[in-house]
Structure 1
């Protein structure tokens, strides 16, 4: 279990809030607030503030034209199903199922075409897929000044 980076108790940060603890990752700060909530502390007076926010890009794999077309086909199929369901409101019986299937196929086809074309136009400048997230260097748990003394007991555990 990660220990708090620093754990000053009831240090004044603003005229209304006190720093309860600082953590290196969000999960630890969340655990503290969850423990406070479980004990009946009025957590509506608690804030978790991320300091030093940065973007982190996790590379998930190589992107090829085939993968781009497949990804585009999947997205296009979902869009096609949505359109098919909307048009299906005006049909009944077997025609409804055919409308849905036809919309799915058309959506998948055009999704694949546009996915392939979008990747092809980059000319190899970005041949990988990734997921972008925000991350903070430190997570401070602050509590309203009126509740600071009661909240300080949670850091000592």
Structure 2
């Protein structure tokens, strides 16, 4: 069974678009910082114009989370490419499933913590925690990460079964 090519192309597009964003964002901030224009960033649906050290640290941390998401897309792209080689249950696929799942979980947990810290730093008097509904929900994304970890275990069991079948034949 061949995986759908549209999935491969969609992942390649997402990877390229996010990679461009990750590479252009520091340049944009650098030029804005040295221009006469006031810098304004949106953090947790609030505009920030006063950049203290904790806010700058938070923004850098969130930038690295976005870079990590690009890396996750790269790993998924690599996983899908391995399916096009017609090799199922390879050690590389098992490793990639687990790695993608763990990175998704860790990134989502870091985002949750980052959102809480951002709310505390931006406006401590009006502290609020919000949870999106639907596919953008961080808890749903953690569940997707757990699914990838589970798939790594399924592939590992399938690989062991496949090896046992090859030995009995």
**Whose helix proportion is higher, 1 or 2?**
2
TM-score (norm 1): 0.28
Higher relative CO (Cα under 8 Å, sequence separation at least 6) belongs to 1
TM-score (norm 2): 0.26
**Whose strand proportion is higher, 1 or 2?**
1
> Which has more radius of gyration?
1
